[in-house]
């Protein structure tokens, strides 16, 4: 496939160079310009066609990803579960909730120590 895709244009450019070498006068220069121009055109058309095909492929992949998202609620390359933060506190540090729990327990102990109040 590469021979068809790029070989034809390469042969045309090579033919133009040969024409210039064989006949450097008017006909050779005109043949060189014609053959090189045509060969480069063929190469450019093939290159642009490849870009278009790749763009279509990317669109199809994006469409499949959107369909997956509509069905599952997440993109295909994402994890199903959102990542949760894991907090690590230095030794001896208490959270607000732990402090409140300690105050509540301390208040209950004080109540039990003082009967009748």
Residue 23 token pair: 């006949």
pLDDT band for 82, please (50, 70, 90 cuts).
low
Across the chain, what does the average pLDDT equal?
Answer: 87
Domain count, the chain: 1
What dihedral angle (degrees, nearest 10) is formed by the CA atoms of 27, 29, 34, 38?
140
Q: Residue 116 falls within a domain, yes or no?
A: no
Please state, for a pLDDT cut of 90, what percent of the chain lies above it: 43
pLDDT given at position 116: 63
Q: Residue 14 falls within a domain, yes or no?
A: yes
Q: Residue 112 falls within a domain, yes or no?
A: no
The pTM of this model reads 0.50
* Nearest Cα residue to 38 out of 20, 11, 18, 19: 11
* Nearest Cα residue to 9 out of 36, 28, 29, 48: 36
Burial class of residue 35 (count of CB atoms within 10 Å of its CB; 0-12, 13-18, 19+): buried
Summarised one tens digit per residue, pLDDT across range 91-108 is 888 889 999 999 999 999
Distance CA(71)–CA(64), nearest Å, equals 11
Distance CA(42)–CA(1), nearest Å, equals 14
Highest mean pLDDT among 34-43, 71-80, 86-95: 34-43
Q: Residue 40 falls within a domain, yes or no?
A: yes
Q: Residue 58 falls within a domain, yes or no?
A: yes
Reply yes or no on whether the pLDDT at 78 is more than 80: no
Domain carrying residue 71: 1-77
Q: Residue 102 falls within a domain, yes or no?
A: no
Q: Residue 45 falls within a domain, yes or no?
A: yes
Distance CA(49)–CA(89), nearest Å, equals 58
- CB of 6 closer than 8 Å to CB of 46: yes
| Strand locations in the chain (E) | none
Q: Residue 41 falls within a domain, yes or no?
A: yes
């Amino acid at each position: 496939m590469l021979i068809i895709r790029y070989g034809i244009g390469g042969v045309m450019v090579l033919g133009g160079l040969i024409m210039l070498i064989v006949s450097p006068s008017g006909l050779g220069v005109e043949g060189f310009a014609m053959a090189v121009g045509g060969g480069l055109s063929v190469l450019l058309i093939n290159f642009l066609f490849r870009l278009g095909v790749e763009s279509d492929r990317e669109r199809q992949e994006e469409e499949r990803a959107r369909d997956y998202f509509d069905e599952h609620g997440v993109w295909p390359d994402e994890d199903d579960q959102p990542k949760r933060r894991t907090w690590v506190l230095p030794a001896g540090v208490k959270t607000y909730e732990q402090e409140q729990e300690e105050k509540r327990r301390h208040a209950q102990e004080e109540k039990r120590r003082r009967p009748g109040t």
